[in-house]
Amino acid sequence: MKHFINLKDIPALDLRKIISEAKKRKKKRKNLNTLDVDEDSPLKGKLLIQMFEKPSLRTRLSFYLAIKQLGGEALTLRTDELHLAKGGESLADTAKILSTYGNGFMLRTDSDKKIEEFKKYLDVPIINGLSSSSHPTQVLSDIFTVEEIKKRPISTMNICWIGDSNNVLNSLVVASVKFSFNLNIGCPKNYEPKKVIMDWVKKNKRKINIFNNVKRAAISADVIFSDKVVSLNDKVNKTKKIKDFKNFKINSKLMNIAKKDAIFLHCLPRGSEVSDGVFLGKQSKVWQQALNRIYVQKSILLYCFGKLR
Ligand code: CP
Ligand code: NVA
């Protein structure tokens, strides 16, 4: 059984297969409506159960449409309506029921431990739909988007992240090892990636460049990524953190330091880390990026359901 919890645990070859499948399926849907099922209906009769302990717009919708387009169905559980949340039922028993009623489980939670616990007790695959330490479905989809726009492998590119060392960046760092691309990180001092993640990079014989100077990080970038300075799980002094990031805003001046044909990507939702001019400007591909999540979620589901050739 294949879970999708962390990019670290998935062989690079499988990650590449997921992206290739997404490309093929997207191409075949040119003349189809949103809810039309792919011709081969590979997940006919399958139920994906999803649960969000934190807000979500894109992940929720993209998984819903992904399973529908593959011929299956999705059911979203409200955490506050389950016995689990109120302590009236154990996680193990909840997992048993999810496994007998459904065929896959997608969970968004703050607790990485909870994902591991579910994995232990589930007899069906679990997908991490964002945790405090990673956002693997987002980043895999972003690699698909980058290659779709640039029409070449990401391994030939300079990728730049300007922002907090959060869950999305953690997954991007892992992706930089799995897909062998150059990664520059621009962030203030004291907001650099954790040692454990940098040690993992080192162990895998790769290097990531960290700059406390935003301009240096953006030089020669093919892609500039960003995300909210304050994430959903952040228990910080928000005012102070936003102040600490004041020199790390993405504006047109910064975009001019990157390559001429550089693109801007952001997983959304956005905050004040990017100017409206850049976010809504020509170099921004954020809407295409958001839409592509459907296609990559589809291949992630196929991978988990053992249907990826
Ligand atoms: N990018 C992303 O995961 O969006 P949601 O939080 O809306 O799902
Ligand atoms: N880093 C953000 C991503 C939201 C999709 C968060 O965790 O809130």
- DSSP class per residue in 195-236: HHHHHHHHHTT---EEESSHHHHHTT-SEEEE--SS-TT--S
Counting residues of the chain whose pLDDT is more than 90, the rounded percentage is 96
Residue 232's pLDDT is what? 87
Residue 86's pLDDT is what? 84
Sign of CA dihedral 162, 224, 129, 205: negative
Which ligand gives the minimal distance to the CA of 266? Answer: 1
**Residue 186: strand, helix, or coil:** strand
CA 202–ligand 2 middle distance (angstroms): 26
**Cα–Cα distance between 169 and 239 in angstroms, integer?**
21
**Cα–Cα distance between 230 and 238 in angstroms, integer?**
7
At 165, phi and psi to the nearest 5?
Answer: -90, 80
Residue 301's pLDDT is what? 98
- Nearest atom in ligand 1 to the alpha carbon of residue 129 is 3
Which ligand gives the minimal distance to the CA of 56? Answer: 1
Residue-wise over 260-277: b if at least 16 C-beta within 10 A, else e?
eebbbbbbeeebebbbee
- Nearest atom in ligand 2 to the alpha carbon of residue 166 is 1
Tell me: pLDDT of 195 over 80: yes
CA 33–ligand 2 middle distance (angstroms): 30
Residue 112 CB neighbour total at 10 angstroms? 16
CB contact set of 94 (below 8 Å; sequence gap of 6+): 82, 83, 84
Q: For the residues 185-198, what does the mean pLDDT come to?
A: 97
226 neighbors 266 (Cβ within 8 angstroms) = yes
Pocket of ligand 1 (CB under 6 A): 56-60, 130, 138, 267-268
CA 45–ligand 2 middle distance (angstroms): 32
Nearest CA to ligand 1 atom 4: 58
Active-site residues, by number, are 108, 135, 138, 227, 267, 293
Residue in the block written with tokens 């139920």:
47
Nearest CA to ligand 1 atom 3: 59
CATH superfamily of 136-289: Aspartate/ornithine carbamoyltransferase (3.40.50.1370)
Nearest CA to ligand 1 atom 5: 56
254 neighbors 262 (Cβ within 8 angstroms) = no
Q: For the residues 16-33, what does the mean pLDDT come to?
A: 97
Tell me: pLDDT of 239 over 90: yes
**Cα–Cα distance between 229 and 209 in angstroms, integer?**
20
The string of pLDDT tens digits covering residues 115-163 is 999 999 999 999 999 999 999 999 999 999 999 999 999 999 999 999 9
Pocket of ligand 2 (CB under 6 A): 130, 135, 166-168, 227-228, 231-233, 267
Boundaries of every domain in the chain: 7-135+292-304, 136-289
Q: In sequence order, what E strands does 23-89 have?
A: 47-52, 73-77
Tell me: pLDDT of 201 over 80: yes
- Nearest atom in ligand 1 to the alpha carbon of residue 62 is 8
Tell me: pLDDT of 85 over 90: no
Helices 286-304, 58-69: crossing angle, 10 deg rounding: 50
How many Å separate Cα 9 from the centre of its chain?
Answer: 15
Residue 99's pLDDT is what? 98
Of 170, 159, 220, 219, residue with least CA distance to 193: 170
Nearest CA to ligand 2 atom 1: 231
Which ligand gives the minimal distance to the CA of 268? Answer: 1
The string of pLDDT tens digits covering residues 261-280 is 999 999 999 999 999 999 99
Are both 7-135+292-304 and 136-289 of the same fold? yes
- Partner residues linked to 225 by β-bridges: 161, 265
Of 254, 299, 248, residue with least CA distance to 277: 254
CATH superfamily of 7-135+292-304: Aspartate/ornithine carbamoyltransferase (3.40.50.1370)
